Amino acid sequence: MLDTDVCSDLSARCGGKINIGLWCGEQLCEAFTNSFDFAGRGIEVKYKDSACGVHLYFAEGDGAESSEFFSRTDGKPRAVVYADASLQSAAEEVAARCNCPAAGFDFSAAEEGLNNILRILLFEFPLRRIDVDIPEWTQVMPQENTAIAELLSAVTERSSKIFKMSELSDLDGMFAGAKYWKENAFAEADLKTGCVKLKAEAKDGIYFEMLSEIAGDEIDGEYSLMRFVRSASQAKKGYAKVKDALECAGVNGYGIVQPSEDDIVYDTPSVIRQGGNVGIKLKASAPSYHIIRVDVSGEVNPIMGSAAQSENMVQGMMAGFERNAEEMWNTDLFGKSLKSMVQEGLAAKVSSMQEETRGKLRRAVNRMVNEGKGGAIVIIL
């Protein structure tokens, strides 16, 4: 009895129906098609039809059909079959040339032989995708993390050498010598779709090492983990206050941090009298933060000598910027990279405003906010 799972998977890979292209002499073709009720099992056998989903070549003494089989079935799942032990060597020679397996076929046990051939053909289909299943806690780590980078490197290197489902054994020992991953990963293949699910397991003891790398702080146990979480929680709460203002400043150039309830200081109420009226005066104060985006521009103009001395160098540098700007920005000149020269110029401008000027600016904004004055005249000396 044919293996129903193999037939179902092979049918799916063939597009819904198993169709076999048969390459051999007419007499052998007739013997093979009559050896089994193919039509009754939903299998279609066609003589030398390159459009079929899979292909079989029956080795014969003269090997007359091998060249045609090689050229017209290239890129399709195929196998070489021999019905006589004396033809095994010739069959294996053709199989090596076609980069496909060879198998014997006994006409007296056609069903068993056909099962074996269908299974071989099923594994000759291409590998479509490898899905890697990693521990849940590692899924939040960025690709540049050392453990994730090691995993991606191993998977990419090994999978680049695997093209067919029959080559999945090459995944064994994928992580041999890896620092963060156990040597053998469990692979589960779906032959119907050509997809493989690879389950990678992290080595014991790397959890805190990964936490330390992500946190930028030494975390070697529960105590240091809780200490860091508490510190991070406080930092998160502080950032939450200014997050919206920073985003607004990034878009509009100006952002305001509204006072929180904890920041408000309530003064003692006082009684006020105006003519014959009596009321109560309620007063409170709180800090607010005004974030201003200042677009700083800076430039440097390194002089490299006279025109005659430096003309060729300058032209070469300009051409380099057109080819690869990032590389040129990292070029050293006078002991510093061009990028660092410009960065130093920007940093000098950012800190150039004097303390006294900063105080005046702050007092001016204070008055505009508290006195409701919308207009301002700024004189820069």
- DSSP secondary-structure letter at 185? -
pLDDT at 130: 92
- DSSP secondary-structure letter at 124? T
In tens, the pLDDT along 297-340 reads 877 666 666 666 566 667 777 777 777 777 777 777 777 777 77
Dist CA 84 CA 61 (whole Å): 10
Dist CA 241 CA 287 (whole Å): 12
pLDDT at 309: 59
What percent of the chain lies above the pLDDT cut of 90? 20
Burial of 201 (0-12, 13-18, 19+ CB in 10 A): middle
Q: Are 304 and 310 in contact (CB under 8 A)?
A: yes
Sheet holding 195-199: strands in order across? Answer: 129-133, 195-199, 186-190
Lowest mean pLDDT among 1-10, 45-54, 102-111, 368-377: 368-377
In tens, the pLDDT along 366-381 reads 888 887 766 777 777 6
Dist CA 221 CA 280 (whole Å): 57
SS3 (DSSP) at 300: coil
Pairing label, strands 336-337, 332-333: antiparallel
In tens, the pLDDT along 192-222 reads 999 999 999 999 888 888 888 888 888 888 8
**Residue among 191, 195, 167 at smallest CA distance from 7:** 191
Mean pLDDT of 269-292: 85
